[in-house]
Amino acid sequence: MDVILFGPPGAGKGTQAAAVCEALSIPHVSTGDIFRRHLKEGTPLGLLAKSFMDKGELVPDSVVCDIVASRLAEADCQGGALLDGFPRTVAQAEMLYSWLDGQGREIGTVINLQVEGSMLVPRLSGRRTCLGCGATFHVSHNPPKKLGVCDRCSGDVVQRNDDLEETVRLRLYTYERETAPVLAWLKPKGTVYTIDGSKSIAQVQLAILGALGI
Ligand code: AP5
Ligand code: MG
Ligand code: ZN
């Protein structure tokens, strides 16, 4: 089953992804993580993506859609995948649904994590991310056991470039303008569960797994 994890920057998509993927035995496909991996490896795609990410803007649809289609065609995604951070524009949603349709696949569920705007800036500006495995922490809500060291892989835990407060505000603006309208497009297509993402990490996880019938 393919599942979309939808919500604004800082809603908790990345935080909740691991539990969902484990419960459904599907891989986590995060377009943001794919771009950051390319950037780490210094590929042309990584550098292109960085020029948009650092400004809080979206990477162009044509680039993103090709990457997602080739990722979803890989062997480990044949039983479905958890899409985190995609689709982010109506054009991406149209491409995704028509591509899946062509493969005889469909989106089973959309989980919409709803969090009040005033909570998002403190969540993102306090976030710290592992350079090794991408795990996310928060300076006060969810700190790593040892300062600057990942609990999961012992990698370096740092602040993402686009988590500086000024860039966070630009990302939230981009979300309202380009991504929020995707929800209205998704609703008539199937099951959209809206979940209160402002509760604790454990409570949100329970609500998501409940919505997925796990
Ligand atoms: P991406 O990496 O997808 O970033 P994003 O959507 O802005 O979302 P975030 O990763 O910032 O938030 P999240 O919901 O995962 O929150 P998290 O769980 O980490 O994209 C980055 C950039 O790449 C984009 O700006 C764009 O340029 C480009 N891009 C990516 N996809 C694209 C696409 N499809 N098209 C075009 N461009 C694209 O949680 C945040 C913090 O809050 C953490 O510190 C966490 O510990 C804390 N937290 C989480 N849940 C809770 C809770 N319940 N209570 C308290 N704290 C919590
Ligand atoms: Mg994320
Ligand atoms: Zn790590």
* Res 141: pLDDT: 87
- Report the SS3 class of residue 163: helix
Residue 174 has pLDDT above 90, yes or no: yes
With cut-offs at 50, 70 and 90, classify the pLDDT of residue 127: very high
Q: Tens of pLDDT along 70-113?
A: 999 999 999 999 999 999 999 999 999 999 999 999 999 999 99
CA distance readout (Å), 39 to 26, 32, 46: 25, 11, 4
* Among the listed residues 7, 61, 56, 13, the one whose alpha carbon sits nearest the alpha carbon of residue 183: 7
The number of domains in the chain is 1
| Mutation test residue for ligand 1: of 40, 54, 136, 139, the one with most atoms within 8 Å of CB | 136
CATH of the domain at 73: 3.40.50.300
Q: Which atom of ligand 1 is nearest to the CA of 160?
A: 11
Q: Tens of pLDDT along 179-194?
A: 999 999 999 999 999 9
CA angle, residues 81, 83, 89, in degrees to nearest 5: 145
Whole-angstrom Cα Rg for the chain:
16
Sheet holding 136-138, edge to edge: 136-138, 127-130, 157-158
Active-site annotation holds for 171: yes
Q: How far is CA 112 from the centre of its chain?
A: 11
For residue 90, which phi and psi values (nearest 5 degrees)?
A: -65, -35
Please, which residues bridge with residue 158 across strands? 129
The torsion defined by the Cα of 62, 110, 197 and 168, in degrees rounded to 10, comes to 10
For residue 2, which phi and psi values (nearest 5 degrees)?
A: -90, 135
Q: What is the mean pLDDT of the chain?
A: 96
Q: Which ligand is nearest to the CA of 134?
A: 3
**Rounded Cα distance, 73 and 78, in Å:** 7
* Res 134: pLDDT: 87
Spacing, Cα 11 to ligand 1 middle (Å): 7
Please, which residues bridge with residue 110 across strands? 4, 192
Q: Tens of pLDDT along 26-63?
A: 999 999 999 999 999 999 999 999 999 999 999 999 99
- Which residues span the domain enclosing 192? 2-211
